[in-house]
Amino acid sequence: MRISPNSNVYAANFGRALTTEEKKSYSNLIKDSKSALGIEDTTAIIFDFNVPSEQGYNIGIGTTFSESMQKFTDFLKTMAGITSIQLQPQGKITPTNKSPYSGTNYAYGEHIIDLRKLTLPEYGELLTLDDIQKADEDYSKDKQTREYKTDYDYALNVQEALLKKAYAAFLSNDKLKADFEIFKSENSDWLQKNGLFAALSKHYSTQDISKWKEKDRLLYSSKTPESSRNQRISEIEKEYSDIIDFENFKQFIADKQQQDSRKSLNAENIKLYGDCLIGFSQGEMWANIDCFRKNLYYGGPDPGCPETNNIQVWGLPALDYTKLGECGEDGDLSKLGEVGKFLYDKYSTFFKRYDGIRMDAAWQFVTPFIYQAVNGNYEEFKLPEINFTIFNIMKAAAKNTLGDKFDENNPDNIMLELVGISAGKSREMTLNTYPHLYTTAYAEYDETPEKFREKGYKDGKFYVGVGCHDNDSLVNMAKDTHKRKLHISGMKRDYDLDTSKLAFEDEGYQAQSKEQKIQEDFRTAKLAEIYTTSKQFFTLPDMFGMSERVNISGKAHPDNWTVRIPSDYERFYFSQLANGYGLNLPKALANAMEMKNVDNPELINKCNEAAEILRSDGPMTTQDADETAKKGELKSHFEYQLHGAGK
């Protein structure tokens, strides 16, 4: 991997893509290898902005709603063996806060609407291809950098302008009107509040409700008489009908695209998980104001934050758990309080949209960490433990929404993120019930597959990745000599492993310096380790061997939430593999079989053969590989017949 010191752009070297025929053999090999390892699920963590754009239609941001996402998913399914996708939050962001974890739960972010789909007949042909191509062509900054880094300023402006154009066309187009009315009827409660919040934000030129007049700030407070509320709502809807209807239109389009995308992924046997936020947006707090404690916020204990009294300051409004109510194992909702009903509605919405959900900071449901600002300082606000109530609400929402697709005895539709100092109690309570999510980025603290098993975890009840969106990239982790030493020591302990024995033997590897070899050996071993478990995940930057990380936790860094996979991702991926970066899946599976002492030398040898081909010099796209094969110019050809349970 060659990177300019002043740029995040990666330079292509060489690589070897598989032919269409070889892909069939490759898929057979992956199936047999995963079966030999007892692998049940491999999931890709994907943020919408990560997704590559189609060439000629790049406005500076990606979206999982796009047709290019379908092609990209096929690539991930083939080359990385994914069976599910963890979609990260898809709510609204603002020009000043791009974090998807500070967004909305109910309303989709209009920045992830796929403009190109609006040119299709099923979307009323509301835009033309020229509209989007012109936005691509008009980009005045470095277009190569745009391939690897999201440009929110440009993307948000283009989205707003073209969505307004699409909306104008929609008003005189009857094709989608009936579906639009059904959508508004089925989502009337949150949709009306979302539209009113947009209207009042326009009215006051701010989303900061503390700067609004009391009649609007407390519109949904129980202190406001219902007659006064209804009258004020009518006034706002009349004065700002255009803004509200435009908001409804954007939510309708986003919801239609999300459901179309989910349907397409499910047709390819890809399960879709949504990321359910612990917090709520300013607008959601305003619309449910009685459910929140004034001036109290969610956060987390962190000795690494001395400047804020060892508290991670998340700034997320905290729920008033005195209004939670009761919900037992039987899922009886009759004793829920106002907050309990609010949470049930939120979880039900997520289960309608996704096949399952990842619960962000799920330890907060048991041992909530709340803080307040006192005289300019941050202090913890002590609350009692909650026990199982919120988990029971969540399970009831899953059962009532998913029906037969939810197994109460094996509730794998719910993943729990339980990382942090306060997660101990919730880990114990939910051990081997709901799958937990961990990373080996903290291997020095015994967070490794073998150590999780020693703690009582059963295979299938925990996922492991080399890192998540808040961790540094695997590329950078390999450069940290202290961390590297600790992690290698752990792998030696767990697998009696010499990482150098996992290495490639080609000329490219041998030509590297000693330090470069050590770093590559480390990356190779770390990727193999996650495949010693039955469930694993990876981020796209780690799959593609990129040094950029998704987010620097707790820091407002300009590069946060920007890393993208380029449009020419096929060439990029194989070039990275050729240089010793990224997920070479057959190599990871071969090494995982060695680490687990799987007695199948033939299968291991075939994995190593496929891995060497992917690392070699040759055509860098399947199309080029097919053409080269027709000419009889391929240096090697991979063949493998399915032998295992998948046959």
**pLDDT digit string, tens, across residues 472-486:** 999 999 999 999 999
Give CA separation, 44 vs 24, 83, 640, in Å: 21, 8, 26
Query: Average pLDDT, whole number, for the chain?
Result: 95
The pLDDT of 317-323, averaged and rounded, is 97
Mean of pLDDT values over 248-268:
98
Among residues 493, 484, 497, 490, the alpha carbon closest in space to that of 594 is found at 497
Average pLDDT over residues 482-496: 96
Burial class from Cβ neighbours inside 10 Å (0-12, 13-18, 19+) for residue 237 reads middle
CATH of the domain at 115: 3.20.20.80
The predicted-structure confidence for 603-639, as pLDDT tens digits, reads as follows 999 999 999 999 999 999 999 999 999 999 999 999 9
- CB neighbours of residue 142 within 10 Å: 12
Residues in the chain: 647
Domain coverage including residue 133: 49-254
Q: Which pLDDT does position 553 carry in this prediction? A: 82
Examine residue 132 and state whether it is found in any structural domain, yes or no.
Answer: yes
CA 366 to chain centre: 24
Query: 41-46 and 84-87 as β-strands: parallel, antiparallel, unpaired?
Result: parallel
Q: What pLDDT band is residue 581 in, cutting at 50, 70 and 90?
A: very high
Count of structural domains, the chain? 1
DSSP 417: E
- Quickly tell me which residue has 């097919």 as its tokens: 626
In Å, how far from its chain's centre is CA 525?
24
> Pick from 358, 352, 359: which is nearest to 402 by CA?
352
% of the chain beyond a pLDDT of 70:
97
CA distance 360 to 418: 8
In this predicted structure, the answer to whether residue 420 has a pLDDT above a threshold of 90 is no
Cβ neighbours, 10 Å, residue 627: 13
User: What pLDDT score does 175 carry?
Assistant: 86
Q: Is residue 75 part of a domain?
A: yes
Contact 575, 13 (CB under 8 A): yes
Tell me, yes or no, whether 220 lies in a domain. yes
| Residue range 85-100: mean pLDDT, rounded | 95
Each as own residue / partner, the long-range contacts of residues 266-272 (CB below 8 Å, 24 or more positions apart, any chain) are 266/355, 268/73, 268/74, 268/77, 269/83, 270/73, 270/77, 270/82, 270/83, 270/84, 270/85, 271/41, 271/83, 271/84, 271/85, 271/355, 271/356, 272/84, 272/85, 272/87, 272/354, 272/355, 272/356
Nearest CA among 30, 24, 14 for reference residue 611: 30
pLDDT, average across residues 366-388: 94
54 alpha-carbon distance from chain centroid: 20
pLDDT at 372 over 60: yes
Q: Determine the 3-state secondary structure of 117 from DSSP.
A: helix
Of the pLDDT bands very low, low, confident and very high (cuts 50, 70, 90), residue 555 is confident
Q: How far, in Å, CA of 457 to CA of 459, rounded?
A: 7
With respect to residue 636, please indicate whether it lies within any of the assigned structural domains: no
Q: Is the pLDDT of residue 13 over 70?
A: no
**Pairwise CA distance, residues 540 & 328, whole Å:** 39
Does the residue 88 lie in any domain?
yes
Q: What is the DSSP string of 327-370?
A: --TT---TTB-HHHHHHHHHHHHHHHHSSEEEETTGGGGTS--E
- Residue 466's nearest CA partner among 547, 527, 552 is 527
Reduced DSSP (H G I as helix, E B as strand, rest coil) percent helix, strand, coil of the chain, to 5: 50, 10, 35
Contacts of 200 (CB under 8 A, 6+ apart): 212, 216, 236
| CA 448 – CA 530 distance, rounded (Å) | 9
Confidence (pLDDT) at 14: 66
Residue 451 lies in a domain: no
Q: Mention every residue, 6+ apart, whose C-beta is less than 8 A from residue 106.
A: 91, 190, 194, 284, 346, 349
Beta strands in 217-351 (DSSP E): 271-276, 292-301, 311-319
Is the pLDDT at 24 greater than 70? The verdict is: yes
Residue 436's H or E segment, with its range, is strand 436-439
How far apart are the C-alpha atoms of 362 and 44, rounded to whole Å? Answer: 20
DSSP lists the bridge partners of residue 41 as 535
Print the SS3 string covering 1-27: CEECCCCCCEECCCECCCCHHHHHHHH
CA angle at residue 218 from 216 to 221, to 5 degrees? 140
In a domain, 139, yes or no: yes
> What pLDDT was estimated at residue 10?
52
pLDDT band for 242, please (50, 70, 90 cuts): very high
Segment 51-87, tens digit of pLDDT: 999 999 999 999 999 999 999 999 999 999 999 999 9
Q: Tell me whether residue 330 is in a domain.
A: no
Classify each residue of 11-28 as buried b or exposed e, where b means 16 or more C-beta atoms within 10 Å of its C-beta: eeebbbbbbeebbbbbbb
pLDDT digit string (tens) for 181-239? Answer: 999 999 999 999 999 999 999 999 999 999 999 999 999 999 999 999 999 999 999 99
d(CA 1, CA 342): 49
Nearest to 70 by CA among 20, 114, 129, 107: 114
